[in-house]
Structure 1
Amino acid sequence: MCVCDNARPTRADRSVSRIDQTPFEVVVTGLTHDGRGVARRESGKAIFISGALPGERVMAQQTARQRSFDEARTVEVLEASPDRVTPRCPHFGVCGGCALQHMDEARQIHAKQGVLMENLERIGHVTAEAILPPLTDAAWGYRRKGRFSVRRVEKKGKTLVGFREQDPRFVADLGECHTVIPQIGMKVAALATLIDGMDARSGIPQVEFIAGDDTVALVFRHLVPLGDADRAALVEFAKEHAFAIYLQPGGIDSVHALWPEAPTLAFRLPQWNVELQFRPLDFIQVNAGLNQKMIASALSLLDAQPGDRVLDLFCGLGNFTLPLARTVREAVGVEGDAGLVQRALDNARHNQLDNAHFHAADLAQDLRAQPWMREGFDRLLLDPPRSGADVVLKQLPLKGLQRIVYVSCHPASLARDAGYLVNERGWKLRAAGVMDMFPHTAHVESIAMFERD
């Protein structure tokens, strides 16, 4: 449901009114990186259609016009794909949290595999010698970290809590979410009722959630001070629903616990006898079950030996570094966020791993003065952000390395960096595959292993 406090048409609204919105029939031939169907107009111009799947014949209505492509939404499915299923969530199609709930779960990961391979060939001009079996885990109730937007809508007399709609100007009016862990996903309506009853309801723009193995935390961002009644309401809500409540009156450093006084947030990696403790706004992998499979796959592909010294770049809290330290002579993690590095050091001590060492460094800058850059390594593992790792790869002394394992959250940047390693540095892309970290979304997580020729 679209909600807007301002009735005056926006520029986007006015541009849509100038588009011919007469429904038209089209055959869908492909899928975009963000989960929309791809078709061609009679003119040959591409059109991206939300809610449509490859192989379908649909009636579509144009919603936007770009220079090289048009955008549309599905009005009616005339001939359905055998991959089409009924979405579980009643908010699908409005909420922007998911893009692929209408596609069979098994087909989703194969579509993502196609995106990865197409990117490797088109952008990197490389082909993997082997395609790894896709890694999957629970498809529902998996998301343990995220952010709900909050908006008080006076015209409706209610407060909305949810992800952004497909049109990101609006907040989806969610009653439930089936991809978020049930402790949170089935309590979105209760959370909206709580905020709606607070005096500061118009001054709360977002609520972040994060879950450890034993504690689920909510972080309330508030732009105005909270009175005693609001604080009491939050504490009562926390006790009723078994949440830890944090408040964020300013920047990240302002986050502090409201109740209980000192919550403990942590998750365990039993296969390596490791426990990682974290703070409520820290980055952790969204899908706990898939995370453990991903670590196991990465370490298997890396094939590190007991006498090896391994470098883990973009290491965060030590998600890969600490399990690695259980099996090698030394694991060295490097991360740009100094706070995460400190928590990684704390986690190394907490797990009694004195062969895990961590350094803070901006991996997108000149690293020649960094002491760890001058030390030799046998193997490299990296898990960069969406921008990839091209800057740091061009600075590393790669000759001494035997294997590189690259975990990616963006297939285009992986493809670019794979092209550099293979076509300019003489490495071989031995294997690559996808991991379904975010089922029912178009997000593609992947892993690749490189070896010296």
Structure 2
Amino acid sequence: MSDTKELAPVQAPEWLEVESLNLDAQGVARRPDGKVVFIDGALPFERVSARRTRSKNNWEQAELTEIHRESSQRVRPGCPHFGLHAGACGGCKMQHLHPAAQVAVKQRVLEDNLWHLGKIKPEIVLRPIEGPAWGYRYRARLSVRYVVKKGEVLIGFHERKSRYVADMRVCPVLPPHVSAMLMPLRALIGDMDARDTLPQIELACGDAVTAMVLRHLEPLSGADLQRLRDFAAAHGVQWWLQSKGPDTVRLLDEGGPQLAYALPEFGITMPFKPTDFTQVNPHINRVLVVRALRLLDVQANERVIDWFCGLGNFTLPLATQAGEVLGIEGSEVLVARALQNYESNRALPHMGRALAATKFVARNLFEMTPAMLVADGVADKWLVDPPREGAFALAKALADIEQARRGVQDALPLPGGAEGWTPPRRIVYVSCNPATLARDAGLLVHLAGYRCTAAGAVNMFPHTAHVESMAVFERV
């Protein structure tokens, strides 16, 4: 029998003292018997009343009903669609918390994960990387739904804890010109013949181009194509069409400016397609790349490997400083795009020197082995930027080699050619999941012969519970 039971709302909610905030932006309190209560809408150090909505043996979920003592960090949300009410947008979870306090919470989450999951305390806590709290989201996947009963189109994120599309008329985390486009977009889709078969619009803003990818389940009529062209002319949008999978994405009309973003500190320009992976927040990305390379401290005679290199967001800046660079990525499509970006930038001046010799390789990095690691050759330094799953196989391969060299019992044998192979002296690990960073850091520190010299949070997604971070590892 399940230990979960749904409870009817409590008629007289008890008062609770909120101790902290969890990764879902829920206030965490404890009942007198020690049972943990997760409270939507509550903030640390508040005294609140809450109504239970779900109960298990060791914890409960509840909704805030009244605040008896308010946190000094509680602020008025900047979006009219944010809140706990029915129909509220679920895109943001922390708008009621001051942005500086949001960053402090994320830094604490990072440190707690490193200690509780990896048994690691960084020697230095880096100052968090922060940027604009509004208008930062240059990438977004917006759901589209024509509601027959209302006779209107909804475009936006899903409602809080719901599969329904929120009735969004503005979105302050989107660039202002895109937020202002939401209602005109709704009118556009409502006028189209295909309004019932258009489930999604994917937004991708470059430095000078606003691209929108329209997912359509049926071929578009000539009249609909003209409506898209008229909208593009009126609002400065570059339309792309997607009939099936990502490989079917194509420009509505060829020509026009190229979708791209710049890394001006390195003289690099990165062209990309709207479905390529790029960072959501370009303001933070520029600072992130600068700090990562400063911490890596690459010298002109050094060889560097950029693991999970993607389009070359770190690889190409590295090529302005290193002697040789190898970029490794799991997607062959992204590897081809990274090589194109390298070639397009190689002809440009870069702080008075040519880009370093750079190669790109496609490989499944979730299946790394010590033999594969040795075959990639010696590198002085590594840049690691994995997806949410982390870089466990890579860290384990490094640890396995170290354990074999130490002669640890039951260690795997050294692969051929490992006698002359040396591990990198320094690793900078950029993470979008503090739990997998902590897991991998545990391997690097406790088994692979490294120490964690620094770590800090990166507020890539203000007002959300998403935690990005960066850590530095030095060979002992």
Specify the TM-score bucket, using the shorter chain as the normaliser.
over 0.9
1:123–1:319 distance in 2 versus 1, CA, 3 Å: same
Deviation at 1:42, TM superposition (A): 4.4
* 1:37-61 deviation line (CA, Å, top 9, x unaligned): 1112344322211211001112222
Counterparts of 1:223 and 1:210 in 2: how far apart (Å)? 21
* Paired letter, 1:135: I
1:236 aligns with 2:230: yes
Deviation at 1:124, TM superposition (A): 0.4
Deviation at 1:273, TM superposition (A): 0.5
What are the residue-to-residue correspondences of 1:287-306 with 2, within 5 Å?
287-306=281-300
Query: What is the SS of the residue equivalent to 1:343?
Result: helix
What is aligned with 1:389?
Answer: 391
Query: What is the SS of the residue equivalent to 1:28?
Result: strand
Deviation at 1:67, TM superposition (A): 5.1
* Paired letter, 2:260: A
Deviation at 1:73, TM superposition (A): 2.0
Deviation at 1:203, TM superposition (A): 0.8
1:194–1:21 distance in 2 versus 1, CA, 3 Å: farther
Alignment counterpart, residue 430 of structure 1, candidates 437, 453, 474: 453
What is aligned with 1:413?
Answer: 436
Counterparts of 1:369 and 1:119 in 2: how far apart (Å)? 31
| 145-154 vs 378-387, which moves further | 145-154
Query: What is the SS of the residue equivalent to 1:29?
Result: strand
Alignment counterpart, residue 41 of structure 1, candidates 7, 27, 31: 31
* 1:202-256 deviation line (CA, Å, top 9, x unaligned): 1111110001111010001111221112111111111111000011111111111
What is aligned with 2:469?
Answer: 446
Deviation at 1:445, TM superposition (A): 0.6
What are the residue-to-residue correspondences of 1:199-348 with 2, within 5 Å?
199-259=193-253, 261=255, 263-348=257-342
1:68–1:336 distance in 2 versus 1, CA, 3 Å: farther
1:293–1:385 distance in 2 versus 1, CA, 3 Å: same
Deviation at 1:65, TM superposition (A): 3.5
| 359-368 vs 379-388, which moves further | 359-368
* 1:126-164 deviation line (CA, Å, top 9, x unaligned): 100110011111111011011011122222221111111
Deviation at 1:64, TM superposition (A): 3.0
Number of residue pairs aligned between Structure 1 and Structure 2: 438
- Is residue 35–residue 58 contact of structure 2 (8 Å, CA) maintained in 1? yes
- Is residue 320–residue 356 contact of structure 2 (8 Å, CA) maintained in 1? no
Alignment counterpart, residue 351 of structure 1, candidates 345, 350, 371: 345
- Is residue 318–residue 333 contact of structure 1 (8 Å, CA) maintained in 2? yes
1:142 aligns with 2:142: no
Deviation at 1:183, TM superposition (A): 2.1
Larger radius of gyration: 2
- Is residue 27–residue 57 contact of structure 1 (8 Å, CA) maintained in 2? yes
Query: What is the SS of the residue equivalent to 1:146?
Result: strand
Counterparts of 1:372 and 1:309 in 2: how far apart (Å)? 14
What is aligned with 2:412?
Answer: none
1:19 aligns with 2:16: no
CA RMSD of aligned residues (A): 1.7
- Is residue 25–residue 94 contact of structure 2 (8 Å, CA) maintained in 1? yes
* Paired letter, 1:388: G
- Is residue 321–residue 356 contact of structure 2 (8 Å, CA) maintained in 1? no
- Is residue 386–residue 430 contact of structure 2 (8 Å, CA) maintained in 1? yes
1:167 aligns with 2:161: yes
TM-score (structure 1 length as normaliser): 0.93
1:57 aligns with 2:47: yes
Query: What is the SS of the residue equivalent to 2:452?
Result: strand
1:89 aligns with 2:79: yes
* 1:311-358 deviation line (CA, Å, top 9, x unaligned): 000110000010010001011111111111101000110011351211
Q: Give identity over the alignment, percent.
A: 45
- Is residue 275–residue 351 contact of structure 1 (8 Å, CA) maintained in 2? yes
* 1:152-183 deviation line (CA, Å, top 9, x unaligned): 22222211111112213221110011111122
What is aligned with 1:5?
Answer: none
Deviation at 1:193, TM superposition (A): 1.7
1:131 aligns with 2:125: yes
* Paired letter, 2:218: V
What is aligned with 1:176?
Answer: 170
Q: In structure 2, list runs of 5 or more residues that go unmatched.
A: 347-354, 403-421
Query: What is the SS of the residue equivalent to 2:202?
Result: strand
Counterparts of 1:274 and 1:23 in 2: how far apart (Å)? 61
Alignment counterpart, residue 68 of structure 2, candidates 73, 78, 102: 78
Counterparts of 1:263 and 1:195 in 2: how far apart (Å)? 25
| 131-140 vs 388-397, which moves further | 388-397
TM-score (structure 2 length as normaliser): 0.88
Query: What is the SS of the residue equivalent to 2:252?
Result: strand
Query: What is the SS of the residue equivalent to 1:219?
Result: strand
* Paired letter, 1:384: P
Counterparts of 2:390 and 2:287 in 1: how far apart (Å)? 22
1:59–1:260 distance in 2 versus 1, CA, 3 Å: farther
- Is residue 154–residue 167 contact of structure 2 (8 Å, CA) maintained in 1? yes
Counterparts of 1:432 and 1:440 in 2: how far apart (Å)? 22
Counterparts of 2:237 and 2:200 in 1: how far apart (Å)? 16
* Paired letter, 1:65: S
| 161-170 vs 243-252, which moves further | 161-170
- Is residue 309–residue 329 contact of structure 1 (8 Å, CA) maintained in 2? yes
- Is residue 331–residue 356 contact of structure 1 (8 Å, CA) maintained in 2? yes
1:176–1:23 distance in 2 versus 1, CA, 3 Å: farther
Deviation at 1:22, TM superposition (A): 3.3
Alignment counterpart, residue 404 of structure 1, candidates 427, 433, 444: 427
1:21–1:243 distance in 2 versus 1, CA, 3 Å: farther
